[in-house]
């Protein structure tokens, strides 16, 4: 019998492939009201992309974009100091200390500075933002309303929430479109980011949940990996080997979960032999309240993201 989980996964993959095929055939000149952009594959190679901020997030996204069709010659990055710019130069990307230069030379601009710097940076670049621009903010807790308020009227803004595994092209990214961003603008961003990992679109209310689930969730998984390794150290395994096996276990379990499309409970039950080791271990985890603690962790992180967004 077909597994409904597998069906859903296959449908998602097929849908994505179909979507990318459609994007290839689309002439985005028609869709984007005169913005000078053509769609994938030529589109990504023609699009001028800017990054304001050269930190880990900008670097992760840039690496993902470059493993697609975007060309390093069409990307420019700005930061006040040179400390993070060298690694972009190694990718063949142009660097500058001028945010204005990035905006003036780009069609799509990622604003990747710390959340408290978004307002001064947007105020600084605002006079250079025109109707051809798509401004993509990745700052945690900064709402679309705030971004739109700081930009000229009718500006196209998108809020994107990535997570750290973008650095290895295995990110989980969720974006929400602002009031003047069209479906085609979202499609353009999705096409550009598809090599960064899983890219989904949703209402802005889901962005804070995504922050709890996936932005912070990465750290929850690290804590679990650390605890797994320490359990093995307690039982006598050398630390380096225990950490290496724990990280591979997390990687393998995650890959199997994504690729099989099965519900985690089903995969978990497939590992449990009646009366065997795994069910004994799972019983201990349930007694320790791992499930409830993890749900509460996502809840607390989401609430905190909401609270930061209100400040």
Chain positions contacting ligand NAP, by CB under 6 A: 52-58, 78-81, 83-84, 99, 112-115, 117, 121, 138-140, 161-164, 215
Sequence-distant (6+) residues with CB within 8 A of 229 are 239, 242, 243, 245, 246
* Residue least distant from ligand NAP (Cβ): 55
Closest separation between CB of residue 142 and ligand NAP, Å?
7
Closest separation between CB of residue 103 and ligand NAP, Å?
11
| 235 labeled part of a ligand binding site | no
| 254 labeled part of a ligand binding site | no
- Tell me whether residue 11 or residue 222 sits nearer to ligand NAP (CB atom): 222
| 8 labeled part of a ligand binding site | no
Instruction: Please give the Cα distance from 175 to 177 (Å, whole number).
Output: 7
- Tell me whether residue 115 or residue 186 sits nearer to ligand NAP (CB atom): 115
| 295 labeled part of a ligand binding site | no
Closest separation between CB of residue 181 and ligand NAP, Å?
19
- Tell me whether residue 98 or residue 269 sits nearer to ligand NAP (CB atom): 98
The DSSP letter of residue 211 is I
| 56 labeled part of a ligand binding site | yes
- Tell me whether residue 14 or residue 97 sits nearer to ligand NAP (CB atom): 97
In this structure, what token pair is assigned to residue 213?
Answer: 């689930």
- Tell me whether residue 121 or residue 176 sits nearer to ligand NAP (CB atom): 121
CB 65 within 8 A of CB 192: yes
- Tell me whether residue 75 or residue 121 sits nearer to ligand NAP (CB atom): 121
Instruction: Provide the terminal-to-terminal Cα distance of the chain, rounded to the nearest Å.
Output: 52
Strands 156-161 and 197-201 come out as: unpaired
| 113 labeled part of a ligand binding site | yes
| 163 labeled part of a ligand binding site | no
| 115 labeled part of a ligand binding site | yes
Instruction: Give me the phi and psi of 132, to 5 degrees please.
Output: -80, -15
Closest separation between CB of residue 253 and ligand NAP, Å?
21
R_g over Cα of the chain: 22
How far, rounded to the nearest angstrom, does the alpha carbon of residue 182 sit from its chain's CA centroid?
20
Closest separation between CB of residue 84 and ligand NAP, Å?
4
In this structure, what token pair is assigned to residue 47?
Answer: 């699009």
CB 191 within 8 A of CB 25: no
Q: Beta-carbon neighbour count of residue 71 at 10 Å?
A: 16
Instruction: Give me the phi and psi of 76, to 5 degrees please.
Output: -135, 140
Closest separation between CB of residue 110 and ligand NAP, Å?
9
Closest separation between CB of residue 81 and ligand NAP, Å?
3
Distances in Å between the Cα of 268 and the Cα atoms of 47, 110, 227, 249, 278 are 44, 39, 19, 14, 9
Sequence-distant (6+) residues with CB within 8 A of 281 are none
- Tell me whether residue 32 or residue 102 sits nearer to ligand NAP (CB atom): 102
Positions at the binding site for NADPH? 99
Positions at the binding site for NADP(+)? 52-57, 112-115
């Amino acid at each position: 019998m077909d597994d409904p989980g597998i069906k859903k996964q296959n449908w998602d993959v097929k849908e994505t492939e179909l979507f990318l095929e459609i994007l290839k055939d689309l002439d985005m000149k028609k869709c984007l009201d005169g913005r000078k952009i053509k769609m994938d594959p030529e589109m990504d190679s023609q699009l001028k992309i800017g990054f304001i901020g050269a930190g880990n997030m900008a670097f992760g996204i840039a690496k993902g974009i470059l493993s697609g069709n975007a060309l390093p010659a069409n990307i420019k990055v700005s930061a006040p100091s040179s400390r993070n710019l060298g690694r972009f130069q190694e990718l063949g990307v142009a660097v500058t200390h001028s945010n204005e230069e990035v905006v003036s030379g780009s069609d799509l601009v990622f604003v990747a500075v710390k959340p408290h710097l978004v307002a001064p940076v947007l105020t600084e670049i605002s006079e250079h933002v025109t109707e051809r621009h798509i401004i993509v903010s990745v700052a945690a807790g900064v709402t679309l309303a705030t971004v739109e308020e700081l930009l000229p009227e009718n500006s196209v803004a998108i809020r994107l929430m990535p997570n750290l595994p973008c650095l290895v092209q295995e990110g989980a990214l969720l974006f929400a479109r602002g009031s003047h961003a069209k479906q085609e603008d979202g499609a353009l961003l999705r096409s550009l980011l598809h090599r960064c990992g899983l890219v989904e679109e949703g209402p802005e209310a889901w962005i804070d949940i995504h922050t709890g689930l996936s932005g912070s969730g990465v750290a929850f998984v690290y804590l679990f990996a650390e605890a797994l390794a320490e359990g093995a150290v307690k039982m006598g395994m050398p630390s380096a080997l225990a950490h290496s096996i724990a990280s591979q276990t997390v990687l393998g379990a995650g890959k199997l979960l994504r690729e099989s499309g099965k519900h985690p409970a089903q995969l978990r039950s497939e590992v449990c032999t009646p009366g065997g080791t795994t069910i004994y271990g799972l019983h201990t985890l349930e007694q320790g309240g791992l499930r409830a603690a993890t749900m509460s962790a996502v809840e607390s992180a989401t609430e905190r993201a909401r609270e930061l967004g209100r400040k």
